């Protein structure tokens, strides 16, 4: 049959069954109509020469911090989603620890309105959980993809992440029929780190593992869907692998925890400061294995979180993470 499609992406590098091959992709009314060998393409109104370029599906980044609102001097939905589109990312999901944090419907609605006005890609949202769980507005559920909690740095500073609090948050996620996401770290200690080494100790792999274990315990008790954000340690990946009997436990890793280590930067360099901290070459290797071989980790997420230049060029302890 002779059909004419809107667009053909011609002769690009296409991954088929794990191998590179040359293919053309026909698109009709915004959807993929078919994949063709060279010369077999249907007629088209427009074409793009993709020789030497990869043709990939749009990437989905499930962990970003698009600043906007009171931090629009750092980034807004327009500039952030423009950057995503330039990198081939067509969907991003925005975290709730913004300024102000997403703990109520008013803030969520404001974020959605800003995103609808100016985004170049699809934007989804997570919400946080108020200190008093009874205050959670169930009307937010129609507009969010999950609930996110931060045991080391709660969105509401009066919240303490005890075992009971973790259970309450887990129960809320189950009742809401959405996943609970968490930043794997223990509540902040009273002692403020005095140097780079103390900072790494204050956010150790032992703490990451302990935190993941406490959330897994609650997940099992209430049969929740649990997602571990930015896994940074080999031991954490092992713990997740050992609890992957069902697919209701998922995890992500960032590019920086796959490829960078704490030793890659000059001493006291603020660029090296992030939560979770950069780890060892061994952790890099085991996280890559967990992603590519044992499937303990499901996906890569960027944890995109822009700062002003001066905030990252400050000495390590003063720099923004």
Q: Across-strand partners of 13?
A: 22, 54
Q: Which of 61, 76, 283, 303 is catalytic?
A: 303
List, as one string, the DSSP characters of 168-187. Answer: HHHHHHHHHTS-EEE---PP
The span from the CA of 96 to the CA of 111, in Å, is 10
Peptide linkage before 268 cis (omega within 30 of 0) = no
Do 73 and 105 form a contact (C-beta atoms < 8 A)?
A: no
6 is catalytic: no
Do 214 and 201 form a contact (C-beta atoms < 8 A)?
A: no
Which distant-in-sequence residues (6+ apart) come within 8 Å of 188 by Cβ?
152, 153, 202
Q: Is 235 left (phi over 0), alpha (psi -120 to 50) or beta?
A: alpha
State both tokens at 242. Answer: 């050992």
Strand residues in 74-182 grouped as ranges (E): 89-94, 122-125, 147-149, 180-182
| Angle, alpha carbons 85-88-89 (nearest 5°) | 70
Which value, to the nearest 10 degrees, does the dihedral of the CA atoms of residues 37, 40, 46, 48 take? 20
Measure CA 291 to chain center: 15
3-state secondary structure 263-275: HHCCCCEHHHCCC
Residue with tokens 């005890």: 162
Catalytic residues: 303
């Amino acid at each position: 049959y002779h059909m004419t499609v809107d667009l053909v992406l011609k002769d690009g590098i296409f991954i088929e069954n794990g191998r590179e091959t040359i293919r053309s992709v026909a698109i009709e009314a915004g959807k993929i109509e078919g994949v063709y060998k060279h010369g077999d393409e249907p007629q088209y109104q427009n074409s793009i020469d993709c020789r030497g370029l990869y043709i990939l599906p749009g990437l989905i980044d499930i962990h970003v911090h698009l600043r906007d609102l009171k931090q629009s001097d750092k980034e807004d939905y327009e500039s952030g989603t423009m950057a995503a589109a330039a990198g081939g990312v067509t969907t991003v999901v925005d975290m709730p620890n913004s300024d102000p944090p997403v703990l109520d419907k008013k803030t969520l609605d404001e974020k959605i309105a800003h995103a609808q006005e100016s985004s170049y890609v699809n934007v989804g949202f997570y919400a946080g959980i108020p200190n008093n769980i009874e205050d959670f507005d169930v009307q937010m559920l129609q507009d969010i993809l999950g609930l996110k909690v931060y045991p080391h740095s709660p969105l509401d500073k009066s919240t303490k992440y005890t075992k009971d609090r973790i259970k309450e948050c887990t129960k809320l996620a189950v009742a809401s029929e959405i996943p609970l996401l968490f930043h794997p770290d223990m509540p902040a200690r009273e002692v403020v780190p005095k140097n780079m080494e103390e900072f790494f100790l204050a956010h150790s792999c032992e703490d990451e593992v302990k935190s993941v274990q406490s959330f897994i315990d609650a997940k099992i008790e209430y049969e929740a869907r649990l997602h571990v954000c930015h896994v940074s340690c080999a031991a954490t990946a092992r713990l997740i692998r050992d609890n992957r009997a069902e697919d209701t436990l998922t995890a992500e890793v960032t590019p920086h925890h796959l490829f960078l280590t704490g030793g890659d930067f000059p001493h006291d360099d603020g660029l090296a400061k992030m939560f979770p901290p950069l780890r060892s070459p061994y952790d890099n290797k085991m996280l890559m294995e967990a992603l590519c071989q044992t499937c303990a980790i499901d996906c890569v997420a960027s944890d995109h979180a822009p700062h002003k230049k001066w905030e990252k060029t400050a000495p390590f302890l003063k720099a923004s993470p």
